[in-house]
């Protein structure tokens, strides 16, 4: 998701803010189960929880100049959370190799969906 303007709504006020990357960060990961039935639940910096799955994908963008990954998880209403480095390392530790469209891909399972972590490489 590109940087841009978002509306910040709190009980006390409402205003437009600009973010450099994603409006949330995923700061914690809880894992239940293993393999294709595994579920990955992310907690954001605002204490929202989201379970990665078919309607809430994990995606990784690789910076073209540095090769650095930027991982995201869909939160709600078109918004994503940038997955912090420590949580991304947890995902990598859970990673497995699967065949996707005839190619070997490294990624994770959650709620029956496989999410490549290699940024399309």
Total of domains in the chain: 1
Written as six digits, the tokens of 7 are: 């509306």
For residue 80, count other CB atoms closer than 10 A to its CB. 22
Whether residue 113 contacts residue 54, with contact meaning beta carbons closer than 8 Å, is answered with yes
Residue 9 belongs to some domain of the structure? no
Give, for all 121 residues of the chain, the pLDDT tens digit.
Answer: 444 555 555 556 565 555 566 888 999 999 999 999 999 999 999 899 999 999 999 999 998 999 899 999 999 888 899 999 999 999 999 999 999 889 999 999 999 999 999 876 5
Residue 85, Cα to own-chain centre: how many angstroms? 11
Whether residue 78 contacts residue 23, with contact meaning beta carbons closer than 8 Å, is answered with no
Residue 74 belongs to some domain of the structure? yes
Cβ-proximal residues to 49 (8 Å cutoff; 6+ apart), any chain: 41, 42, 43
Whichever domain contains 27, its CATH number is: 2.30.270.10
Which sign, positive or negative, has the C-alpha torsion 29, 85, 1, 107?
negative
Written as six digits, the tokens of 111 are: 């709620």
> How many residues belong to the chain?
121
State the Cα–Cα distance between residues 36 and 13, nearest whole angstrom: 42
Which residue range(s) make up the domain with 78? 22-116
Residue 17 belongs to some domain of the structure? no
Residue 1 belongs to some domain of the structure? no
């Amino acid at each position: 998701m590109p940087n841009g303007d978002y509306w910040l709504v709190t009980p006390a006020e409402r205003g437009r803010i600009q973010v450099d990357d994603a409006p949330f960060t995923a700061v914690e990961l809880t894992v239940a189960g293993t393999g294709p039935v595994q579920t990955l639940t992310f907690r954001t910096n605002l204490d929202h929880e989201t379970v990665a799955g078919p309607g809430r994908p994990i995606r990784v963008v690789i910076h073209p100049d540095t090769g650095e990954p930027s991982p995201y998880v869909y939160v709600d209403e078109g918004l994503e959370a940038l997955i912090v480095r420590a949580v991304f390392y947890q995902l990598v530790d859970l990673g497995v190799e699967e065949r996707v469209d005839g190619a070997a891909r490294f990624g994770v399972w959650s709620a029956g969906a496989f999410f490549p972590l290699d940024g399309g490489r």
